[in-house]
Each structure stands twice: as structure tokens, then as C-alpha cells.
Amino acid sequence: MRLERHIGGMGKARQVSYLQARGWAESAKGWSCERLLAENERLSRALHHQLTEDLCHALSPHGWKVVDYSPRGYAQLLDPNTGERCPLPKALRRQARRENKKVADLTYALFLGALL
């Protein structure tokens, strides 16, 4: 799932600004972030890693907890109601259903909250 499509799409300038504001640096080899231990990532992968971190953090007040990350950077979260593990996109769908919102609306609200 491309998380960035749920945040209204981002132009390249906005992507670069977003990543730099979150601690990413661009070099000739790609994008790097010491906090996430990511090196030489393509812009799209760097964006995916940062959105994953921000959205997981934004779900934590709702009781969701990150239990694991795959080697490719996909998050597994623990559902606070059922105790099941699920990937971030499924967690977003479940939370949206619980709040009676569209997934895109919830995701965008969580993204904006993470920026502030």
C-alpha cells in the first residue's frame, strides 16, 4: 500500500521538505536518516519509512503498539481491542472503522497531527 496516496499525494518539493523537516538528509547516494538507521534510500523508500514512523506514532494514543518491523520497513502493530498483530494498512482500516471515518480521512488527519 502506498501510504502517500492517503495523505493527498505530495509533490516532489513537498516530499523533500517533509523529509528534511523530519531529520532526513540527501546525498549523492540517496536519502539517509540516523534516527531510523536508514542509508542511501530512494526518495520513495525514505518517504515510506517516514510515513510509517509518523502514522504508527499517531496511532499510539488510540492504544496501538508497534511490535515489529520487517527488514523492508513494514510495521506490525498490536490491536488494542483484539490483541491481534496486523500490518499498518490494516490497523488504519480498523481504526477508521472504529471511528466511523473513511480510511483516507483518518490517515490524513493522523498525518497532519504528526506534522504539528
3-state SS record for the chain: CCHHHHHCCCCHHHHHHHHHHCCCEEECCEEEECCCCEEEECHHHHHHHHHHHHHHHHHHHHCCEEEEECCCCCEEEECCCCCCEEEHHHHHHHHHHHCCCCHHHHHHHHHHHHHC
Q: Of the given ranges (2-16, 27-41, 78-92), which has the lowest mean pLDDT? A: 2-16
Q: Is the pTM of this model over 0.85?
A: yes
Q: How sure is the predictor about 32, in pLDDT bands with cuts at 50, 70 and 90?
A: very high
Q: Is the pLDDT of residue 76 over 90?
A: yes
Number of independent structural domains in the chain:
1
pLDDT at 66: 96
Is the pLDDT confidence value at 54 over 80? yes
pLDDT at 72 over 80: no
- Write out the residue range of the structural domain in which residue 7 sits: 3-115
Average pLDDT, the chain: 89
